[in-house]
Amino acid sequence: MRNDRNTIFRIFLTAFLLTLAVLVVAYAGMSDRIKSKNELLNFKNATASSVMSEDGQLLGKYFYENRTNISFDQLPEHLVDALIATEDVRFYDHHGTDARSFLRVLFKSLLMNDRSSGGGSTITQQLAKNMFGRASGGFMALLSNKISELIMARRIEKVYTKNEILTLYLNTVAFGENVFGIEAASARFFNKSTVDLSIGESAVLVGMLKANTYYNPRRNPENARARRNVVLSQMKKYNFFDSATADSLSLLPLVIDYSRKARSEGIADYFLVQVRKEAEEILKHIKAPDGSVPDLEKDGLVITTTLNYALQEYAVRSFSEHLPVMQRRLDAQYKTSSGRRTLGQVTSRELVRLGLEKRASEMRVQEIFDWNGTYTDSLSVSDSLKHSLTLLHAGLMAMDPQSGGVKAWVGGIDFKTQPYDQVLATRQLASVFKPVLYSAALEDGFEPCRYLDNDSIKLSGFEDWSPENFDHSYGGKYSLSGALARSMNIPTFSLFLELGFDKVNEMWRKMRFSFELVNTPSLALGTAEGSIKEVAIAYSSFVNGGYRLGPWCVTSIITHSGDTIYSRETTGEKVRIMTERTSQLMSAMLQKAVREGTGVSMSSVYGVDFPLAGKTGTSQDYADAWFAAFNPGLVMVARAGASSRSIHFNSGSNGSGSALALPLVALTLKKVKQNRQLRETLIKTFPELPPDLAGALDCPDFRDDSFFDIIIDIFEKDKKEYYDTPERRIKRRVNRIMRNIFKKRRYER
């Protein structure tokens, strides 16, 4: 008998010592995860920052984890009921741990290795795991995790109220797909806020907590529906509603409204990239009370921008209305025999350039953009390249010329498959460049009614290169304002010869274009390159009194707690780049271009009849089409064309600036016209020219050569020298003096 007692004692002693050893080892592994009261109180979720339009609409989010924290009063009662009924029915009765559940876990999960028995953790224990994570490893790590969560759960219950614990839990729990928290999950699977969830929808989301992939309602709808009904059954079991309600809800089909992006996100994805860059630069110079730099992806900031949501939406819609039509026309062109031959040649050259000629027939699965819907398909490298080459790209940007704030930014046709931002791409400017030349001429003393030769010109030393007008006409003379309005090439080149490269280059540099100008004859006709953004900046100076400013995007940054840590003035730094007089005259001349010249279809075809100024541009072989329009309240620039200059329309009826780019602006402004509030906000009236300039444009656009002009032409050389000679420099200097004298006398009268 005594031997039996000794044996039993040894067994219990051994068990006690083993248990003590296990606990010591386990505690050693979890000591760094036991948090103090202050650490618990200061716990903060990584919260997505929201980007808002100027009119309060959500544009998108930046997140480390896709999460939006909400408060308890935003949780529907039935959501809380579903959670408690399913995960922890004694939640309001315990103090963080549930002995009954813990014993089940200890003997079944740990000792018998039966994982099917369930986790047995209370909501508070699960919160401890969500807040601070778990250590990975074998049995000892599992034991360490469970013990640390027990201790942490007790501490959490002392620091937070029950409602605060429920709120923290629902804000931290994972739903798969890099979605964290109930608000982000509601947006992802039902495209709504948590407060608007129905009972069935709440049950679906609570059901996902058991296994967020297996019960994902998009991937596994039958599993999700079955799990939803289990949650509803639990709610009935614990008297949160009656059997009739549970039965009727269980019979409903599973309906989701899946949204890959946060609600309202997607309309300005290219713009969000620019906002991120600007916001990160701003935050570098801001310190939180603890000395840290606010984190764009974790601190739940609210970034308000200059972008107007309605205008952005109108611009995006103009793309989807106009570009599919033009894409079908371009596709049809390259399905003809000559078109297929050209496309094949361009594709072959591109394959060689990219080093892919040996892999041309290799098949690849890829996501393909189509205006009827993006789809996944398997294409050869060669066919994929052909599709890419014939894809029409476009970009549009609008800004306030008085402040420099960006009002719309459409960087392309589809951010997911075509992420390269067309607003920033540099392409040949064509006639959109001409206002740079004409503004330089006005700065140098030329007048809008100064007449320019329209005679055929040949240049020696350039293989007898000769500029041509789009209608192949020549002879007579055009006024500066008439030549610009009608986009005449020969008079523009005559002006360039008389003005000289240096003056043009000086204006170009003041406008801050990044492309380095090359002193060649074709420069006058727009062979220089620039981006939509750069053109918008330059054209703003024609309507704001001659200043270069902007663009900028961020007006304010507010912390999650509501403190404003950044606020910007309504205008950025203003740098004068031309006189107010030049700005006023350029504005008047470009109004004439829209009213009477190449932009006349704005009103005649699209009914956009409010005051506008602007300029079309069509690069060589219709490779790029441009249109820039402005009034005192808005500058809007659009460009369209394929990625390769070798792929383009064959005629101006489809490929010109007025046919391909202008409609993007026109369709956007047509919608603005129909929105009274937006029209009154963005569309301003041009001021009248001051008295001393009132008659500056009062002259015919064209006049025939006089008898004196004809006599002079007889003695002109057949070919002209392009580069400066001493004689030409002297002549230019004399002309400049005479213009200044004439101008002085004119204004003294």
How does pLDDT run across 148-185, given as a tens digit for each residue? 667 777 788 888 899 988 998 898 898 988 888 999 99
Residues 6+ apart with CB under 8 A from 502: none
CATH topology of domain 67-261: Penicillin binding protein transpeptidase fold (1.10.3810)
Domain edges within the chain: 67-261, 426-529+688-749
pLDDT band at 746 (very low <50, low <70, confident <90, very high): very low
With a cut of 60, say whether residue 393 has pLDDT above it. yes
SS3 153: helix
What angle do the packed helices 434-443 and 532-540 form, to 10 degrees? 30
Residue 16: what pLDDT? 61
pLDDT 10s digits, 488-518:
999 999 999 999 999 999 999 999 999 999 9
With a cut of 80, say whether residue 736 has pLDDT above it. no
Residues 6+ apart with CB under 8 A from 120: 98, 101, 102, 104, 105, 109
pLDDT 10s digits, 60-110:
888 777 778 889 999 999 999 999 999 989 898 887 676 666 565 555 555
pLDDT 10s digits, 29-64:
444 556 566 665 556 666 788 999 999 999 988 877
Higher pLDDT, 665 or 708: 665
Q: Would you call 476 exposed, middle or buried from its count of C-beta atoms within 10 A (0-12, 13-18, 19+)? A: middle
Residues 6+ apart with CB under 8 A from 504: 436, 437, 440, 496, 517, 523
Instruction: Provide the Cα torsion 121, 124, 130, 136; round to 10°.
Output: -40
Do residues 642 and 330 make contact, with C-beta atoms less than 8 angstroms apart?
yes
What's the CA gap between 49 and 307, in Å, rounded?
17
Query: What does the angle CA 70 – CA 52 – CA 287 come to, to the nearest 5 degrees?
Result: 75
Which of these, 388, 489, 502, lies nearest to 433 by C-alpha position?
A: 489
- Three-state secondary structure along 411-453? CCCCCCCCCCCCCCCCEECHHHHHHHHHHHHHHCCCCCCCEEE
| For residues 179-206, average pLDDT | 94
| For residues 546-570, average pLDDT | 91
pLDDT 10s digits, 228-249:
999 999 999 999 999 999 999 9
SS3 169: helix
Strand pairing report for 302-305 and 554-558? antiparallel
Q: What is the CATH number of domain 426-529+688-749?
A: 3.40.710.10
Do residues 670 and 607 make contact, with C-beta atoms less than 8 angstroms apart?
yes
Report the DSSP beta bridge partners of residue 60. Answer: 51
| For residues 687-703, average pLDDT | 94
Q: Which two tokens stand for residue 462?
A: 């350039």
What's the CA gap between 575 and 535, in Å, rounded?
16
Residues 6+ apart with CB under 8 A from 650: 333, 622
- Three-state secondary structure along 458-471? CECCCCCECCCCCC
pLDDT band at 215 (very low <50, low <70, confident <90, very high): very high
pLDDT 10s digits, 529-545:
999 999 999 999 999 99
Residue 266: what pLDDT? 78
| For residues 125-129, average pLDDT | 82
Q: What is the mean pLDDT of the chain?
A: 86
pLDDT band at 220 (very low <50, low <70, confident <90, very high): very high
Which of these, 444, 397, 457, lies nearest to 425 by C-alpha position?
A: 397
Burial state string for 265-283 with b = 16 or more CB within 10 A and e = fewer than 16:
bbbbbbbbbbbbebbeebb
| For residues 113-131, average pLDDT | 68
Long-range pairs for 480-483 at CB < 8 Å and ≥24 separation? 480/438, 480/441, 480/442, 480/446, 480/447, 480/448, 480/449, 480/450, 480/452, 480/589, 481/448, 481/449, 481/588, 481/589, 481/592, 481/697, 481/699, 481/701, 482/699, 482/700, 482/701, 482/702, 483/452, 483/701
Q: What are the two backbone dihedrals, phi and then psi, of residue 19, each rounded to the nearest 5 degrees?
A: -65, -40
Instruction: Provide the Cα torsion 646, 370, 602, 545; round to 10°.
Output: -80
Q: What is the largest CA-CA distance in the chain?
A: 143
> E-strand spans in 67-184?
none
Q: Which two tokens stand for residue 333?
A: 């062109």
Helix (H) or strand (E) holding 171: helix 162-172
* pTM higher than the cut 0.95: no
Report the DSSP beta bridge partners of residue 628. Answer: 615, 637
Residue type, 440: A
Sheet of 613-618: strand order equals 406-410, 392-399, 634-642, 625-631, 613-618
Q: What are the CA-CA distances from residue 502 to residues 129, 444, 492, 553 (Å)?
A: 69, 11, 16, 34
Residue 441: what pLDDT? 98
DSSP secondary structure of 298-362: TB--EEEES--HHHHHHHHHHHHHHHHHHHHHHHHHTTSHHHHHHHHHHHHHHHHHTT-GGGTT-
Residue 29: what pLDDT? 46
What's the CA gap between 532 and 1, in Å, rounded?
98
Helix (H) or strand (E) holding 75: none
